Structure 1
Amino acid sequence: MTTDAVRYDDQGDVPLAGYAALVSVFGAGVGAFTAVARHRGVRLPEEVPPWDVALLGAAAYKASRLLAKDKVTSFLRAPFTHRADEGEASEVMDEPRGSGVRRAVGDLVACPFCMSFWVGGALVCSYAASPRLTRLVSAGLGALTLADWLQYAWTWTQQADS
């Protein structure tokens, strides 16, 4: 088989092994949580009310954007990304750096959609172990999400008046 036949992308720089490592870390984390939770007798909720799903969704959205786009969390992304540009509302546009696992982590931490899977997983695990605490943390992140939308609405009204 030729090199071109086994290449996943046209440039040959997609870090598939790094992605596989990240998926393995995620799976191991969920597995470890499950084992510890079972050992401690954590019982899964009988049901998850729709408002909790909405609250967890808003929290996952905001936490993902904070981790992937906020200036203040740049120090977490810096080993794996470099600043490419400034975005809207003081967000930043980072691009992954390096190759292999470093590049894969850079792709993850610079992408709020990618981060939401990890944050959502952490929130679900937290909800299973401590629903009240998770609701409180999620309510705080949900309030930030609402505040962001109100900031955008205010900006829009100011621009409309001009």
Structure 2
Amino acid sequence: MNTVTDAARDQRREYSQGEDRPLGSYAATLAVYGLTVGSAAVAARLTGRRPPDLGLRDVVLMAITTHRVSRTLAKDPVTSPLRAPFTRYAGVSGPSELKEEVRGTGVRHAVGELISCPFCMGQWIATAYAAGMVFAPRTTRFAGATITAVAVADWLQLAYAKLQQSAEG
């Protein structure tokens, strides 16, 4: 066992090149993700649920919903209390979005990186949406359509502001 621990420590040191990279915490995060997906698969099997056939409409709905929810959780000022234990306010990064710096070390740092990055959150959100399609497809589609409407409204607000700026000069 000591050889495995030493090899992991050497690998981390070689990988990080002196930077503080919480590889063990990342591995734990991956394990939580795998355990969650595995548990959902077992629950689906035990309850006789099967994934629905997804058409283009479902995939587009899922993609836009994943985008919007990921950005809301990772950047929105209203969700900043959820991120506050893991991040520090560093300013504004865009319309209705915050820039935050990750705090701490180990698990705190790894979770901070995950929840403040919309790209990182996307995998988790899409997986939750997929599970929703297995266990409650009508409710999931309804929630997805609602969130997609918000995303489209956001894009329209940005387009309107851009048109207004160009009209003013």
* Structure 1 length-normalised TM: 0.94
Alignment-derived partner of residue 15 in structure 1: 22
Alignment-derived partner of residue 3 in structure 2: none
Q: Quote the offset at 1:7 in angstroms.
A: 2.9
Q: Quote the offset at 1:5 in angstroms.
A: 8.4
Paired amino acid for 2:20? D
Q: Residues of 2 paired with 1:122 and 1:3: CA distance?
A: 35
Alignment-derived partner of residue 63 in structure 1: 69
Cα distance 1:97–1:5, how it changes in 2: closer, same or farther (>3 A)? closer
Alignment-derived partner of residue 30 in structure 1: 37
User: SS at the partner of 2:78?
Assistant: coil
Cα distance 1:35–1:152, how it changes in 2: closer, same or farther (>3 A)? same
- Which of the numbers 104, 113, 123 marks the counterpart of 1:98? 104
Identity of aligned residues (%): 42
String of CA shifts for 1:2-47, please: whole Å, max 9, x gaps: 96983323342111111111110000001111111111111222x2
String of CA shifts for 1:105-130, please: whole Å, max 9, x gaps: 00001100000110011001111112
Q: Quote the offset at 1:95 in angstroms.
A: 1.3
**After the TM superposition, which segments of 4 or more aligned residues of structure 1 sit over 2 Å from their partners?**
1-7, 9-12
Paired amino acid for 2:43? V
Q: Residues of 2 paired with 1:132 and 1:118: CA distance?
A: 20
Q: Number of residue pairs matched? A: 161
Alignment-derived partner of residue 153 in structure 2: 147
Cα distance 1:20–1:3, how it changes in 2: closer, same or farther (>3 A)? closer
Q: Residues of 2 paired with 1:150 and 1:56: CA distance?
A: 19
* Structure 2 length-normalised TM: 0.90
Paired amino acid for 2:33? F
Q: Residues of 2 paired with 1:120 and 1:139: CA distance?
A: 14
Q: Higher helix proportion, which one?
A: 2
The answer to whether 1:83 aligns with 2:77 is no
Cα distance 1:43–1:7, how it changes in 2: closer, same or farther (>3 A)? same
Please list every run of 5 or more consecutive structure 2 residues that lacks an aligned counterpart in the other structure: 1-6
